[in-house]
Chain A
Amino acid sequence: MLYKEFTKGIFRENPIFIILLGLCPTLAVSTQVVNALGMGAGVIFVLIGSEIFVSLLKDFIPEKIRIPSFIVIIASFVTIVDLVMQAYAPSLSRSLGVFVQLIVVNCIILGRAEAFASKRRLGESLLDALGMGVGFTLGLLLISAIREILGSGTITLFAVGNFDGVIQIPGLSSQPARVLALAPGALLVIGFLKAFFNWLEMRREQRAAFAVAGRGSTSQLAASPDTAPAGGAS
């Protein structure tokens, strides 16, 4: 059962593509893969920290002031991330800019604290935070990979030793579709990705309905939505 609390954030309730949460501080940093990794790490840390604290303190926080209390907890962890990033990854901190501090208004974090951690036990909250954080990071990584590969023909990762961290993609880096790396590209990419995920969902529902109608009620369990994603491979 606990395993599900982790995986739902990655697929079924992916914060970026399925419930479209936390977009504001997300799209602006999706120009390079390295920014997505940095932002993802920050969000995972803040999510885990604040869900642990909210879950532990849920019996002590009065109902009426719970939202401000959650915000203070979240803002404390965001401050930690901001200061650590400035100290140990100054170039990343510079390129993420004001968006590190804006993690505090990322709707995912307050949303999970309010909807999940304030009602559940510590273990479940921890897995939920981890799943949501990983799902968020993967979503952001997908957007930034599409934008960077098509928009500038490169993949930027961390610099290690002689490797400067930038992978050039032959054929694309000389004539990239530059618009994708600019502001409109982020909005277009998220629009098309969301449409793609809607299409997948629609197709899955159609197949489930078809399977139920075709095989009768005995095999209904096999066609239930929980097992349906596996059918996508056929």
Chain B
Amino acid sequence: MSYIGIIITFVFINNFILTQFLGLCPFIGVSRKTDSAVGMGFAVIFVMSMASLATWAVYHWVLVPLHIEYLQTISFILIIAALVQLVEMVIMKISPPLYKALGIYLPLITTNCAVLGIALIAVRSDYNALESFVAGIAAGLGFLLAIVVMSTIRERLDREWVPKPFRGVPIAFITAGLMALAFMAFDKALLKNLLG
């Protein structure tokens, strides 16, 4: 698949949140305010692109030559945890303002299903290094798009009357469901029409 195809697939057609339900916890938890949603979105893009590159390297240069592919799950989750720590320390050292903006979201990302998800999906799809990296960025962009749209809707919902049992999380899920319904307009046929 071409790079543009990968980007369209992961941003729109297989949007991680709205069609795969990966990364739902931060999506519901951090989407109350647009500012924090944007911060979380960029932190996820950053970590996902780094993680898909790092796990590609470990899988193809360590696990495959040693024939220990079955250690995939353990090694990937440890790489991601270590990577998040490393990224946190590096950002703290070189850019305190960026750390202030992203810092609180980074620890939350370690157990974000989306990061491990993109690493596993990239391996399953036999992507090369650059394709994995692009897929990581695209999946992160899809997350950013979904969480920012969601947070603007929720900021408006705060000012509307909602039946008491639906307040908070339930209405957020129903909103996400309606968003997913809208995203169903993006399907494989779209990709075919765009790229021929």
Contact of B113 among A25, A76, A186, A187 (CB under 8 A): A25
Instruction: Determine, out of B4-12, B44-52, B58-66, B161-169, the stretch whose residues face the partner at the interface.
Output: B161-169
Complex: chain B residue closest to A198, CB-CB: B165
A191-B174, A191-B177, A192-B174 as given contacts; A98 in contact with B81, CB under 8 Å? no
Is A191 within 8 A of B113, CB to CB?
Answer: no
The prevalent SS among residues of A at the interface is helix
A31-73 CB contacts (< 8 Å) to partner B: 67-68, 71-72
Asked whether B173 lies within 8 Å of A190 as measured between CB atoms, the reply is: yes
B120: interface (CB < 8 Å):
yes
- Is there contact, CB below 8 Å, between B19 and A183? yes
Is A185 interfacial (CB-CB < 8 Å)?
A: yes
Instruction: List, in ascending order, chain A residues with CB within 8 A of B111's CB.
Output: 105, 107, 110
CB nearest neighbor in B for A27: B21
Please state if B112 and A105 are interface contacts (CB–CB under 8 Å): yes
Q: How far is the CA of A194 from the CA of B24 in the complex (A)?
A: 15
Would you call A23 and B25 a contact (CB within 8 A)?
Answer: yes
Q: Is the CB of B169 within 8 A of A194?
A: yes
Central interface residue in B19, B113, B177, B184, by most chain A CB within 10 Å: B113
Residue of B nearest to A196 (CB): B165
Binds B, one of A78-86, A150-158, A169-177, A225-233: A78-86
Q: Once the chains bind, are B70 and A83 in contact (CB under 8 Å)? A: yes
Contacts of A122 in B (CB 8 A): none
**B164-184 contact mask (Cβ, 8 Å, vs A): 1 or 0:** 111001111110111011001
Name B's interface SS. helix
Report if B103 contacts A (CB, 8 A): no
Q: With A78-B73, A83-B70, A98-B124 in contact, do A195 and B181 touch (Cβ < 8 Å)?
A: no
Query: How many positions in chain A have a CB within 8 Å of any CB in the partner chain?
Result: 42
B89 within 8 A of A: no
B24-61 with Cβ < 8 A to chain A: 24-25, 28
The answer to whether B81 touches A68, judged by C-beta atoms less than 8 angstroms apart, is yes
B77, A195: Cβ atoms under 8 Å? no
Contact A82 B73 (CB under 8 A): yes
Complex: how many Å from CA A195 to CA B166? 5
Q: Which of A98, A183, A196 has a CB less than 8 Å from the CB of B117?
A: A98
Q: Tell me if A222 is interfacial: C-beta within 8 Å of chain B.
A: no
A162 → B minimal CB distance (Å): 35
Question: What is the CA–CA distance of A35 and B59 in the complex, to the nearest angstrom?
Answer: 28
Contacts A24-B24, A24-B113, A105-B112 given: A72-B165 contact, CB under 8 Å?
no
* Contact residues of B between 67 and 114, Cβ < 8 Å to A: 70-74, 77-78, 81, 111-114
Does the CB pair B77–A102 fall under 8 Å? no
Q: Contact between B21 and A76 (Cβ–Cβ < 8 Å)?
A: no
Which chain A residues border B121 with CB–CB below 8 Å?
Answer: 98
Instruction: Give 1 or 0 for each of A83-117: 1 = CB within 8 Å of chain B CB.
Output: 10000000000000010011011110010000000
Most A CB within 10 A of own CB, among B19, B25, B73, B169: B73
- Bound-state CA distance A183–B185 (Å) is 12
Residues in B with CB closer than 8 Å to A196 are 165
Complex Cα distance A76/B163, Å?
44
Q: List 12 A-B contacts (CB under 8 A).
A: A25-B22, A26-B21, A27-B21, A28-B22, A79-B70, A79-B73, A107-B25, A110-B111, A179-B181, A185-B177, A191-B170, A198-B164
Interface residues of B (CB under 8 A from A): 18-25, 28, 70-74, 77-78, 81, 111-114, 116-117, 120-121, 124, 163-166, 169-174, 176-178, 180-181, 184
Q: Apart from A79-B73, A102-B22, what 10 extra A-B contacts exist at CB < 8 Å?
A: A20-B169, A98-B120, A104-B116, A183-B184, A187-B177, A188-B174, A191-B177, A195-B165, A195-B170, A198-B165
Q: Which 6 A-B pairs have the closest CB atoms?
A: A191-B173, A187-B177, A24-B113, A188-B177, A191-B174, A195-B170
